[in-house]
Structures are given as C-alpha cells and as structure tokens.
Structure 1
Amino acid sequence: MMNYLINMNRHLRITILLSCFFGSFVLFYFTVNSLFMFAAFVFLGILIASNVSHARKLSDVMDKTLEKSIIKNKIVADHSYLSDDFLSGIAINEKEQRIALFKRNNINEELSPTLFNFDDILEVGIKEDNIIVTHASKTSAIGNAMAGGVLFGGIGAVVGGLSGEKVGYTKVYKVSLLIVVNDLNNPIYEINFLNSKILVDRDSEIYKDIYYEMSKWNKRIGVILKRNELNTRTV
C-alpha cells in the first residue's frame, strides 16, 4: 500500500490523503467518535511518511542521472553535486584542472554538461534569496560590492561573509552558488542548494547542513580563483 502511494502522482497522493484527513476530522466533529480522530491522524501520518519516502526515492533517482551524464560524457570527477531542484550540477577534475557545469530545463531531460578550464572561472558567490552574501573574483580574494551587484543581481546586492558582514534576516527560501565563467553566451551558472516553497530558518539543522555543503563548494571555487590569480602573477 505504501509503495503504491509513494509511486503515485505527488499531487494526486496529497489530494487523496488530505481529503481523507479532513473527512475523518469532520466525521469526528459531528459524531464525537474518537475512532474518526484516530483515523485523521493516521491519514496525516501516512501523508507525511509517503512524502518523505517519495522525496528520498526521487533524490536517489536524480543523483543517478548526474552519474549517468558524467559517465556518458567521459568526465572524470573528483567531486560532484546535483542541485536541490535537480536541474543543475557541478563536477570538478583537479588533475586535468577542468570543471563541468550541468544544466537542463526539466527533470525528464538529460543533464547537459559544459566543460571549462580552471582559468575560465572568473567569479563565485553565494546568494540567499536575492542577496549576495559572499563574493570572490579572479582579481580579488574578497571582490567588491559593485562587481558583485553587476554580475549577481544588480543594484542593492549585499556582499558579506568573506568581508565579515552579516545578513539581517533569519529565514530563506532559496540558497544558491553562483559561478561566473568566461563564456559570453552563458556567463552565469546557478546551482541551487536550497529551493524551498516554505521559509527555512537559518538556525535550523537543515539550513546548517545545506550551508556547510555549499560552503565547501564555494571554497573549492575560491581556491581555483586564487590559483588563477597566482598563475597570472607568475606569467
């Protein structure tokens, strides 16, 4: 029964179980029969459990699409990551000094990679909703607010993190890693580490785990930028 619900269309499953939940609650209200209240909480529990199981199964399936694209395109990856919405990804090969950035329009398409050399990476930043919280460029370890604003969101962008500034809000919907590359057609790649329909508290374990993982990627790209800068100075 649970497997059937997990594999069911998500919207249909939610509609059916919520209808059962509210139906049981209404029956309890009119009959004061505790069995209907118990049934209501059972349906609610099934809804939560099936949604969690469905999300995990989908995540496992989507992770395999990134692995499939890496293998199909003969990419050697020391590190790889698939975005929270499964629409973009990243893979790094340190020995060959190359980075693969993946994109697709929907989860039914194959992930399409674009390969860049390390010296093609120009900037990296972390964006929370519409605010840039860290930013580093090829020419500076910290960069500046004007460069970050132009490349990552226009006037009003706030650059902090690396320069020690704090962001004055407690909850977010979306947290992304932005990478600027030497490509006039597609200069900015955005990889969502969190893309939620509900606000996520920045003090929550979910946010902390997400930010920890994204910070590792931000630092990896930062190391590449620093190496690019050092190589430029020695030439």
Structure 2
Amino acid sequence: MSFWWVILVIVIMLVIVYMGSSNKAKERKEKQDSFIKEQENEGVILSNKTDIENGIIAIDKNREKIVYIDDKGDTLVTKEFSFSDIIACELIKDGETIYKKSATRTIGGAIVGGVLSGGVGAIIGGLSGSAKEKEKINSIDIKITLRDIDTPNFKFNFFEYKGTRMFLDLSIKSAEEWKDRITAIIEIQDSKK
C-alpha cells in the first residue's frame, strides 16, 4: 500500500507544479496583451510579435523600430531600436556566430555584408541539421550591433536549454525568420544611402 501512496503523492505534486506554471504563463500572457493594447491605443502598431526566452520582440513599421518587451520582472520594460541604428546582425548558436550581416555603410562599402560559415546553406544546416545535432543545441541568440555608444549591442535570446528541448524547432524557425527580417532591415537602410 505504501507504494501507491508514494505514487499518489508524486502525481499530486506534479499536478500542483503544472497548475502553478500554467497560472504563471497565463498571468504573463495577460500582462503582455494588456501592455500591447496600451501601446496600440497610443498609436504604436506592433507586427511580427514573437515570444522569445527573454521577452517579446516585434516590429513597429510606422516608426521604423524593433521593439523589445522584457516581461520577466514585475513590470514590463521596453527597449526600442531604430532601423537606422542597426549596423550588424549575428545569428549565434551555442556562443558561436554562424551568420553575420553588416551594413555596407559601416565598412565603407568594401564588402557587402558578410555571411560566415560558408553561406546560407551552412546557416540553415547549422541550425536545423539532423535530430542528433538539435539535441546538442543549448542556446540560440540574435545579436544586433547598434550605432549607440551607451548600448552598442543587444542580444535576443530565442532558446536557452533548461532541461528540455521541446520548443527547439519553433525557436530555430523564429530565430531564422528574425535573422532574415533584420537582414532585410539592414539592406533597406543601405539602399536609402
């Protein structure tokens, strides 16, 4: 009989933990939605909203800004990055840069941006390779370099291994989309010069 009591206690503990994390996720989502609605009431239209490990990343096309909402604390904190201030974008897997795009205006036009690790095929292969490779990925980040002395760069964390890789495929897809989106922003800003 004591075996079944142990199993019952374990099941009850798992249910309590699940309900607690579910409530926390619900509260987080409500806080995000409320904040975004406030922003929209002030005329800020956010598109391409994506939940990432360290908050939400979105685009405000009207004001030409990337908007980052840090929702990990008690209050929401926003950071905005003007398209014109972005001078480079890096896709980083486990601390290693596997893609980098630089604005031509930052290097005098000598090189048109840069792709590391053998081109676009290597980028996609580097992130979305075999299932065995995916199991080894511990972090995926996008780093932007900015024309700002006080904040010269910022890192968006799309995946951080925390005991499970359940959402790794979704994180890879989101990181690749944002890498492409920021690359397009850099290209558009370059074409304006």
Q: If the length of structure 1 is used for normalisation, what is the TM-score? A: 0.61
Q: Is the alpha carbon distance of 1:110 and 1:45 closer, same or farther for their aligned partners in structure 2, counting shifts above 3 Å?
A: closer
Q: Letter of the aligned partner of 1:99 in structure 2?
A: K
Offset at residue 121 of structure 1 (A):
1.5
The alignment's C-alpha RMSD in Å is 3.2
- Aligned: 1:182 with 2:147: yes
Determine helix, strand or coil for the equivalent of 2:186: helix
**Is structure 2 residue 90 aligned with structure 1 residue 125?**
yes
Q: Figure out how many residues of one structure are paired with residues of the other and give that number.
A: 180
3-state SS of paired residue (1:198):
coil
Measured at CA, do residues 69 and 218 of structure 1 come closer, stay the same or move farther in structure 2, by a change above 3 Å? farther
1:195 deviates by: 3.0
**Is 1:143 equivalent to 2:114 in the alignment?**
yes
- Corresponding residue for 1:107? 73
Name the residue aligned to 2:120.
162
Q: Which moved more, 1:39-48 or 1:181-190?
A: 39-48
Matching residue of 2:18: 49
Paired with 2:17 and 2:102, the residues of 1 have a C-alpha distance of: 43
Q: Judge which range, 72-81 or 220-229, deviates more.
A: 72-81
- The structure that has the greater radius of gyration is 1
The alignment status of 1:93 with 2:60, answered yes or no, reads: yes
Q: Evaluate the alpha carbon distance shift between residue 106 and residue 37 of structure 1 in structure 2; reply closer, same or farther with a 3 A threshold.
A: closer
Deviation at 1:225, TM superposition (A): 1.4
SS of equivalent residue, structure 1 residue 197: coil
Amino acid of the residue matched to residue 225 of structure 1?
I
For the 8 Å contact 2:139–2:159, the answer to whether it is kept is yes
User: Unmatched 5+ residue regions in structure 2?
Assistant: 105-110
Query: What secondary structure is seen at the aligned counterpart in 2 of 1:178?
Result: strand
Q: Is the 8 A contact 2:99 2:115 kept in 1?
A: no
* Counterparts of 2:42 and 2:78, CA distance in 1: 9
Q: 2:186 aligned with 1:228, yes or no? A: no
Q: Secondary structure at the match of 1:109?
A: coil
SS at match of 1:126: strand
How far apart, in 1, do the equivalents of 2:187 and 2:70 lie?
30
Deviations 1:122-147, CA, capped at 9 Å, x for gaps: 111222231222221112565165xx
Can you give the 5+ residue segments of structure 1 that lack an aligned partner in the other structure? 1-31, 146-158
Residue aligning to 2:107: none
Sort the Cα spacing of 1:211 and 1:160 in 2 relative to 1 into closer, same or farther, 3 A: farther
- Distance in structure 2 (CA, Å) of the matches to 1:33 and 1:58: 38
Aligned to 2:5: 36
Q: CA deviation at 1:178?
A: 1.2
Partners of 1:161 and 1:53 in 2: CA distance:
41
Task: Determine the structure 2 residue equivalent to 1:219.
Answer: 180
Rate the CA distance shift 1:115–1:95 in 2: closer, same or farther, 3 A. Answer: same
**Separation of aligned partners in 2, 1:163 and 1:221:** 18
What is the Cα deviation at residue 80 of structure 1?
2.8
Identity %: 16
**Superposition TM-score, scaled by structure 2 size:** 0.72
